[in-house]
Amino acid sequence: MGVNAYQSGAPAKPRPTLKVSPKLEEKQKKALPSSQGPRRAAAAAALTRLGGAARGKANTFPFILESVEAGATLGEICGALRQVFGEFKAGA
């Protein structure tokens, strides 16, 4: 446990948690599949091209940008690059 040099002496007040109405939650769940379908296909194609570029000698940045524009997440982009380059392990 660390030491804070600027302690107020008063115990921290618990912060309220975000409450989402069940009605809004259900609405968002229903909307998600319709927006994900086209994005998934475009993102998957862009990620495949990114993986191919990473295996060769091409500059990967244009392919990363294409993946972002197609709706790929940072995790998906990192995963595509991780498949090619592996993951750094300190001391290995």
pTM: 0.61
| Nearest alpha carbon to residue 65 among 52, 75, 79, 77 | 77
Identify whether 7 is part of a domain: no
Cα-to-chain-centroid distance, residue 30: 21
Identify whether 27 is part of a domain: no
Identify whether 9 is part of a domain: no
Cα-to-chain-centroid distance, residue 29: 19
pLDDT digits (tens, 9 = 90+) for 35-78: 667 778 899 999 999 999 999 999 999 999 999 999 999 999 99
pLDDT digits (tens, 9 = 90+) for 10-29: 777 788 888 889 999 999 88
55: Cα within 13 Å, side-chain hemisphere: 9
pLDDT at res. 2? 65
Number of domains the chain contains:
1
